[in-house]
Amino acid sequence: MALLSITDITARFGGFRALDSVSLEVGDGELVGLIGTNGAGKSTLFSVATGYIPAGSGSVVFQGEDITNVPVHQRVRRGLARTFQVPREFSHMTVFDNMMVAARDQRGEKLAALVFSRHAIRQEEERLAERVREVMAFLNLARVSDELAGKLSGGQKKLLEIGRLLMLEPKCILLDEPFAGVNPVLIEQLCDRIVELNKRGIAVLIIEHNLAELARIVPRLYAMDRGRVIASGTPDAVLADQGVREAYMGGVI
Ligand SMILES: Nc1ncnc2c1ncn2[C@@H]1O[C@H](COP(=O)(O)OP(=O)(O)OP(=O)(O)O)[C@@H](O)[C@H]1O
């Protein structure tokens, strides 16, 4: 059984059909790519999967449960979370605090339950801080821990965005163009960290325009064009697909 099953999803913006009966699956512990022309509907699909945009029709099933109408924060609590094309860090806060805020959001109810015990709150905060330090070390962000997030490079912001996601202890992450605006050296590092996360058991679905990098790390790809999935399979098979080649620059890739 798939970890995440998206079936026959349709989504409209006014009269425009951005997603037209889209189906896609991510298996437990799988690393999957999603490519497509500009405006194909990839980000919209992420938004429907994670609850930011309602599905017009179709279903989203996560870990065997129908979550089509479940709100964003409950999907996050179940372990399904996404990044955005443009990172959403708090630019005037430090890297460390950005990560702590993400962790506290997730732990909000638990912290509220501890309201009568200062000692218990301090212990919980220390536990979260320890987890933040672990994640920063994993992402090579430890040395910028006290920097303001707004001062980070594009690549470091993408790493921070992934760090904030990891504080949610997800089972499946949807990464929207993690390599966009990132210099080649940091792309290598990002690729390496994404593969390592996946090895540790987190399922990953990645939207990416950088086909060379994506094809290097994912065993399986989907391709979208004009609101539909037009191909899926190994990167070689998808990139050789005639429909995909026609969708991209009239067959030039
Ligand atoms: N909030 C919105 N209101 C109206 N139209 C929208 C909205 N969001 C997206 N669209 C339209 O839906 C279509 C799909 O957009 P989407 O951002 O999902 O594409 P994409 O495949 O992620 O594109 P890109 O690779 O360029 O980021 C586009 O035509 C876009 O203009």
The backbone region for 236, taken as left when phi is positive above 0, alpha when psi lies in -120 to 50, beta otherwise, is alpha
At 121 the pLDDT is 76
- Predicted model pTM: 0.90
Rounded mean pLDDT for each run of 10 residues along the chain, 253 residues in total: 95 94 97 94 96 96 97 94 83 93 68 65 85 94 95 91 92 93 87 94 94 91 96 94 86 49
From the CA of 227, give the closest atom in ligand 1.
14
Residue nearest to atom 9 of ligand 1 (CA): 44
Q: Is there an atom of ligand 1 within 6 Å of 44 CB? A: yes
CA of 40 from ligand 1 middle (Å) equals 7
Query: Would you say 172 and 62 are in contact if contact means Cβ atoms under 8 Å apart?
Result: yes
Residue nearest to atom 17 of ligand 1 (CA): 43
Mutate to test the pocket of ligand 1, among 44, 177, 225 (most ligand atoms within 8 A of CB): 44
Beta strands in 167-234 (DSSP E): 172-176, 203-207, 220-225, 228-233
* Sign of the torsion formed by the C-alpha atoms of 23, 46, 196 and 184: positive
- State the ipTM, two decimals: 0.95
Kindly list the structural domains of the chain, giving each domain's residue range(s) and its CATH number in brackets, ordered by start.
4-89+156-251 (3.40.50.300), 90-151 (no CATH)
At 48 the pLDDT is 97
**Locus of tokens 């004009």:** 226
Query: Would you say 226 and 243 are in contact if contact means Cβ atoms under 8 Å apart?
Result: no
* 214 sits in which H/E element: helix 211-217
